[in-house]
Amino acid sequence: MIDPVTIGRATLYLGDCRTILPTLGKVDAVVTDPPYGMNYENWKGDAKINNDGTRASLRLYRAVIPACKTIPTLWFTRWDAWPDVWEIFAEATKINGLLVWDKGHNGMGNLKHWGSSYELIASCGPVATRGSRDGSVLKFKPVPPNARHHPNEKPIDLMGYLISKITDDDNVVLDPFMGSGTTGVAAVQLDRNFIGIESDPAYFDIACKRIEDAQRQGDMFTESAA
C-alpha cells in the first residue's frame, strides 16, 4: 500500500492509479484530464506525459473507466480519442453527453484546416447538476503557456465550475490523473475533499506545492473572517 501525502482536505498518491484505485473508499465524483494518447512533446522535446502513447492510453482507459461506472464522472478528451472513450464508457455505464470547452482561440495544427479551438468533456454515470441548467459550451480562457505548470494544464476556473456543478460541500472529488494538481486546487478552494493520483514524481511534487498553497490561502481566509 502506498502511503499518501495529506494536505488539509487533500489526500495525494504518487503511483499508478490502476494499483491505487481499488484501495480507495467512497468517492462522490471523478473530474479528470487523462492522457489523450497523442504522444505529446513540446517543441524542445523535453516535456512528455506518462502513458500518452495510443496503446498505453487505451490500457489505462480500459482499467480505469470501469472503476468509475457508479460515480458521476467528467472526463476530458479530444475528438480523435473520443471514439475509444465512448466505446469503453458505453460498456460500463450511461453516457449523458458531451461538454465543449471553448478556448476562444485556435491551437496548433494544420494551417490549411479549421483551427482546433476546443476540447471535449464526457459526462458519464449518475451525473446530476446543481443550480441552473447551463448550456454545454463552456467558455474559459486557457492558461497562458508561460504560466503553465504542465503542458496540458486546464484553467482553475474551468475545473472549479465543473466541480461545483456536480458536487456539494464536503463531497470527495477524485482525479486519477492529477498532473500538476489543478483539479485539487479547485476542489480545495471550493471546500471539497480531494483525492489525487499522479505517476510522475516531478508533477506530483508540483501538485503538492500548489494544493498546499491553496489550502494555506483558504485557512488564512477562514481565520480572517472569524
> Domain containing 50 — which CATH number?
3.40.50.150
Q: How far apart are CA 132 and CA 2, in angstroms?
A: 40
**What residue numbers bound the domain in which 120 lies?**
5-212
Exposure class string for 94-126: b at 16+ Cβ within 10 A, else e: ebbeebebebeeeeeeeeeeeeeebbbbbbbbe
Q: What are the C-alpha distances in Å from 109 to residues 69, 116, 133, 152?
A: 34, 7, 34, 15
Mean pLDDT for all residues in the chain? 88
**What is the pLDDT at residue 41?**
44
Backbone angles phi, psi at 210, to 5 degrees: -65, -40
Q: What are the C-alpha distances in Å from 44 to residues 35, 57, 107, 119?
A: 20, 23, 18, 24
Q: How far apart are CA 144 and CA 155, in angstroms?
A: 9
| CA-based nearest residue to 151, from 54, 73, 35 | 35
Residue 225 forms part of a structural domain: no
Exposure class string for 65-86: b at 16+ Cβ within 10 A, else e: bebbeebbbbbbbeeebbebbe
Q: What are the C-alpha distances in Å from 87 to residues 38, 71, 82, 94, 213?
A: 18, 18, 8, 11, 39
Residue 224 forms part of a structural domain: no
**What is the pLDDT at residue 172?**
98
Residue 219 forms part of a structural domain: no
Q: Against a cut of 0.85, is the pTM above it?
A: yes
Confidence of residue 51 (pLDDT cuts 50, 70, 90): very low
**What is the pLDDT at residue 1?**
61
Domain count, the chain: 1
Residue 221 forms part of a structural domain: no
Decide which of 102 and 81 is more confident. Answer: 102
Least confident of 33-42, 101-110, 123-132, 195-204: 33-42
Residue 97 forms part of a structural domain: yes
Residue 218 forms part of a structural domain: no
